[in-house]
Structure 1
Amino acid sequence: MFDILIQNGTVVDGSGSPAYCADVAVKDGKIAQIAPHIVVDAQKIIDAAGRLITPGFIDIHRHADVNLFTSEFGEPELRQGLTTIINGNCGLSVVPCPPEHRDEIFTFLQPVIGEVDSSLKFTNFEEYIALVQKQPLPLNVGMLIGNGTVRASVKGYETGRLTPTELAQAHHYLHSSLAAGALGVTLGIVYAPENCYDIDGFVEVLQPMRDFQVPLVTHIRGEGDTFHQSLHEVIEIARRLGVPLHISHLKCIGSRNWGHGVTKALEILDNARQSGMDITCDAYPYTAGSTQLIQILPPQFLEGGSAGIVKALSNPEKRRELTEILKKPSDYFENLVNMVGWGNIVMSTLTQPENQKYIGKSVEQIAAEQGKDPYDCAYDMLISEQCKISMVDYITSEDDIKTILGYPYTSVISDSVYPTGGVPHPRLYAAFPKVLIEYVRESPVLTIEQAIHKMTALPASVYHLKGKGILREGCDADINVFALKNLSTDATYQEPRRFAKGFDFILVGGKIAVDHDVLTHIPAGKTLFRI
């Protein structure tokens, strides 16, 4: 007898191959059989007539490093069909965090991962992942090690080359994390403190990667005016290390760069692939991103972490210098202010009571309300909030999204950040259904087979997630059952906290995690490790 038998459905197996009609049987957390008209009895039979049967979706780019320890973790993820997520992206993993740098690391990360509960006791990857294993997980979770946090753990947010002692400690953190099962190493070259490395510095600090078969996963230095040179930079780093390369949230920022910028970028990636390199990428289906507001600042104003930034912004001479920098295009940092303007930069999370009225408003709007110049408004808000401000920034074009999603090596992601309070980005709740609704059902850019492949087998292949992302006998029974016509989502930038609807069943490890848009609260998820 099977545990669950899903009958009469259309199987989209994740491989990209054409859909076909079949039944799917589940036993002991695995797919036991896929065949037409399975007649063996089962404890539960699901009639999937008129429904698709797909692998559970895999989001390889989220920032739920500490949110997974909270009671609300799981519903935004499961309700959009996710059965596996990967955290620790953009070089911004929550570990390592030794006592001497813990507070400044957590303050710097707050707009991305949220507040870290003081009851959580960990200082390195091994201690962190041990806590994750003890957590009742509603879905599968894997973890990456962030090179930015590694650097901050040995040198704080100061610039300059690592000393031999610091370099040895950084190597230890990377090696021990990978040995303990981290799925890969992530970079956030646009962020402090990694923005002070050059190619030689990255190759030097990342030497432990040579001992492990894991990808280098990177938020590149610039995605607008310096887009192409930033791609060449990370390709060279991966080439020298001899490791696979995965580009995070591939996109092109600023209207002056749209269209031609993406065309050239894909040519760069194709040329590197043709030379023998293993290169993939991912993308989210929104024209707005979300990260720390401090990312409007050039590298020299990020030194010293949050305390250093506040000190610089409190200096009238420094403010004048900064304003002149932000008003002009840049060839050395991602100047969002110049590329998209203050009207497209929204403060989405603010912590101070007196600033709550500004949540969800652009810097331009806030400045008008305060009777200030937008530059002074942004600086003053960063000082008031001690840099703990998340932003939603409107940066890319719909046509570019379609082009990038159509690239054969692009996985679908959400890039969800989890700031404490405020108004989160709607991708936290709706990224995956949005692709199916808008780019498969309504304005077809992808076939259903292509879209499911980009949500399942393709992302699973980036991290060699054995048994994930494919419907095959013997694979893990992470399964979604839904009708494409029934999917809906009304999560917006103004009202993002709205769950997707239309999933009949979502199985995690052979257990029903969602039954007609209702969570069962069965902790069937597992912690994933490098194989």
Structure 2
Amino acid sequence: MYDLLIRGAQICDGTGAPPFHGDVAISDGRIAEIGSSLGGATRRTIMADGLVAAPGFIDVHTHYDCQLSWDPALTPSCWHGVTTVVVGNCGFSIAPCRPSDRELLMRMLLFVEGMPTEALRAGIRWEWETFPEYLDAVERLRPGINVAALIGHSAIRYWVMGAAASERAATAGEMERMRDVLREAMRAGACGFATSESPTHFFGDGTPVPSRVAPRDEIRALASVLREFGRGLIEVAPLHLIGSTESKREDQAFYGELARASGRPVTWAPLLHSPFDPEGCLELIEEAATAQRDGVPVYPQVGCRPLEVRISFDTAGIAVMNNPIWRPIIEKPVSERKRLFASRAFRDELRLMSPQGSYVAALAPSWDQMFVRYSPAAAHQPYTDCSVAAISAQRGADPIDTLLDLSLESDLGCQFGIPLMNVDETIVGKLIRHPAGILALSDAGAHVDTLADQGFTSTLLAHWVRELGALKIEDAVRLITSVPARIYGIRERGELRAGWAADVVLFDPTRIGLERTELVHDLPSGAARLIQRATGVEHVIVNGEVLIDAGKQTDARGGRLLRGGA
């Protein structure tokens, strides 16, 4: 007897083959059979007329390490059909970590990944110190979706060196201890190692995160540990995250060295279109393709959504907290912020910081690139998706006055969107179709009140497939299933194949999409995060358990810790 029979779906099996009409039978958490008009008894049947059945989607760039403690279903990713995530990216795993170092780690996550400290303090269930203990804790949680974990360089470095990790190079003895910690993690089931060289990764006082202090010889030495295991992957946040194509080319050459040292794939993130160097991203992905043809597996991570930062002045979002002009203001009590915003002297001071309104006091490139995305004030509804420049013209007001007036009129709740990169759809389309990249970059679990890209899979299927016709549906599904599974060594997932894990998403191709971004206060301690709900995702099945049923989340906990990609 089958546990579940999906009948009459259009099956996109994840290989890139054209869809075909058929049934999918599931037993004991595995796909039992795929075919036409399958017979036999079944405990439940899902009639899938008009729906596409695809392998569960895989998101390889998340920061759900902390959220697992209080939300094992990992919303909103699961709402969008994601059944497997990779955590620990950019070197920021939350293990290994001693009890005495937890506050420092949470401060690092606040300033680097935009996770509110009060939510972390209230929500993380600290049941581990070592990385193997962390994996055991994840397994005990019984997550709603599958989790694979990278061990982070910054965590390793601080575990071995303490406060000196952000100050100096490691001694030979410390270096060997770090290699031993990585070996221990790989034996326990880490899917690889992650590090950051990014200049944007620092504590609130400007101190670099530990991985940034490491010389490249240290990164090479750690990378070589993976050769001993013959599995795993290395993920890197690049040194020249903000820089010229030439400097990024030097970074990518170094990642090729890591691939050769480890014998394993290396992926770096992000590769985005920049308006300041429009063709540079295409040059870099072509060079990655050349490296791959030469047997050097270097994979840039690309995104299918604009990189748009959200800000509002009622929360201490990372875009504001890392801004030297705004941080002292946002740290003040709300009542004092409102008093300042109403002050003519304060507004005049801001005008001096933004000559001719050319840089919006260091928040956006220009007033016509800063948009109202949401406001709780009913009178602001006509302004939705209008630029501050356009609203200023309509009101006959100065842009600084408009920005602050909109904030005051909405009790500081007005949300402004600032698209920074990945806006040119002609270039972005070339990036996401290029076979040398990995489609990722949701950053889910991080920058919680600033970014809301967790639904990139829905964006891909709604915008790039249905609306633009830039991809066939089978090609889009392949990009978010079998491609990441192959590169990350995630076994028996990413395709609908008899005997493989029953991770399946059923969606309506005519309706799949996203609702408007909303700010919700559902983090521990009532802290806020941005989310986008899915439309058209009808059923999400994880190892045979139905997590999303007729569009509604259930209490199913069918996810597994994928030790070593298993």
Q: Same fold (TM over 0.5)?
A: yes
Q: Any residues of structure 2 matched to 1:403-442 within 5 Å, and which? A: 403-418=430-445, 423-428=449-454, 430-442=455-467
Q: Find the counterpart in structure 1 of residue 383 from structure 2.
A: none
How far apart are residue 81 of structure 1 and its match? 0.5
Partner SS, residue 166 of structure 2:
coil
- Give the Cα separation in 2 of the matches to 1:29 and 1:194: 39
Q: Find the counterpart in structure 1 of residue 236 from structure 2.
A: 218
Q: 1:184 is matched with which residue: 178, 184, 192?
A: 192
Cα RMSD over matched residues? 3.6
Please give the per-residue CA displacement for 1:330-370, whole angstroms capped at 9, x wherever unaligned: xxxxxxx9997487799x9xxxxxxxxxxxxx9x99x958x
Q: 1:498 to 1:269 in 2, by over 3 A?
A: closer
Q: Find the counterpart in structure 1 of residue 555 from structure 2.
A: 521
| 2:169 pairs with 1:152 | no
Q: 2:210 is matched with which residue: 174, 193, 199?
A: 193
- Give TM-score scaled by structure 1 length: 0.78
Q: Find the counterpart in structure 2 of residue 483 from structure 1.
A: 508
Equivalent position amino acid for 1:235 in 2: G
Q: Find the counterpart in structure 1 of residue 34 from structure 2.
A: 34
| 2:255 pairs with 1:247 | no
Partner SS, residue 513 of structure 1:
strand
- Give the Cα separation in 1 of the matches to 2:519 and 2:321: 22
Q: 2:178 is matched with which residue: 170, 190, 193?
A: 170
| 2:248 pairs with 1:227 | yes
- Give the Cα separation in 2 of the matches to 1:251 and 1:158: 29
Please give the per-residue CA displacement for 1:277-317, whole angstroms capped at 9, x wherever unaligned: 1233332322216695599799xxxxxxxxxxxxxxxxxxx
More deviation, 122-131/151-160: 151-160
Q: 1:342 to 1:118 in 2, by over 3 A?
A: farther
Q: How many residues align?
A: 462
- Give the Cα separation in 2 of the matches to 1:252 and 1:168: 39
Q: 1:289 to 1:183 in 2, by over 3 A?
A: farther
Give the gaps of 5 or more residues in structure 2: 202-208, 310-316, 325-353, 355-360, 374-386, 393-398, 405-416, 521-529
Give the gaps of 5 or more residues in structure 1: 299-326, 328-336, 349-361, 373-390
How far apart are residue 50 of structure 1 and its match? 1.8
Q: 1:368 to 1:150 in 2, by over 3 A?
A: farther
How far apart are residue 154 of structure 1 and its match? 2.8
Q: 1:72 to 1:85 in 2, by over 3 A?
A: closer
Equivalent position amino acid for 2:503 in 1: D
- Give TM-score scaled by structure 2 length: 0.74
> Are the equivalent residues in 1 in contact too, given 2:223–2:258 (CA < 8 A)?
no
Q: 1:491 to 1:424 in 2, by over 3 A?
A: farther
How far apart are residue 410 of structure 1 and its match? 2.9
Q: 1:468 is matched with which residue: 493, 500, 509?
A: 493
Q: 1:127 to 1:238 in 2, by over 3 A?
A: same
Equivalent position amino acid for 1:436 in 2: L
Equivalent position amino acid for 1:60 in 2: V
How far apart are residue 194 of structure 1 and its match? 2.4
- Give the Cα separation in 2 of the matches to 1:513 and 1:416: 22
| 2:280 pairs with 1:261 | yes
Equivalent position amino acid for 1:518 in 2: K
Partner SS, residue 31 of structure 1:
strand
- Give the Cα separation in 2 of the matches to 1:154 and 1:491: 44
Q: Any residues of structure 2 matched to 1:314-333 within 5 Å, and which? A: none
More deviation, 448-457/133-142: 133-142
> Are the equivalent residues in 2 in contact too, given 1:425–1:493 (CA < 8 A)?
no
- Give the Cα separation in 1 of the matches to 2:516 and 2:156: 35
Q: 1:497 to 1:294 in 2, by over 3 A?
A: closer
> Are the equivalent residues in 1 in contact too, given 2:69–2:124 (CA < 8 A)?
no
> Are the equivalent residues in 2 in contact too, given 1:489–1:501 (CA < 8 A)?
yes
Q: 1:158 to 1:75 in 2, by over 3 A?
A: closer
> Are the equivalent residues in 2 in contact too, given 1:62–1:87 (CA < 8 A)?
yes
> Are the equivalent residues in 2 in contact too, given 1:246–1:281 (CA < 8 A)?
yes
- Give the Cα separation in 1 of the matches to 2:58 and 2:157: 29
Partner SS, residue 43 of structure 1:
coil
Q: Find the counterpart in structure 1 of residue 376 from structure 2.
A: none
Q: Find the counterpart in structure 2 of residue 323 from structure 1.
A: none
Equivalent position amino acid for 1:245 in 2: V
Q: 1:40 to 1:489 in 2, by over 3 A?
A: same
- Give the Cα separation in 1 of the matches to 2:363 and 2:248: 12
How far apart are residue 84 of structure 1 and its match? 1.0
Q: Which runs of 4+ in 1 moved over 6 A?
A: 294-298, 337-340, 342-346
- Give the Cα separation in 2 of the matches to 1:215 and 1:86: 11
> Are the equivalent residues in 2 in contact too, given 1:10–1:53 (CA < 8 A)?
yes
| 2:470 pairs with 1:453 | no
Q: Any residues of structure 2 matched to 1:483-522 within 5 Å, and which? A: 483-492=508-517, 496-522=530-556
| 2:228 pairs with 1:203 | no
> Are the equivalent residues in 2 in contact too, given 1:412–1:432 (CA < 8 A)?
no
Q: 1:120 to 1:498 in 2, by over 3 A?
A: same
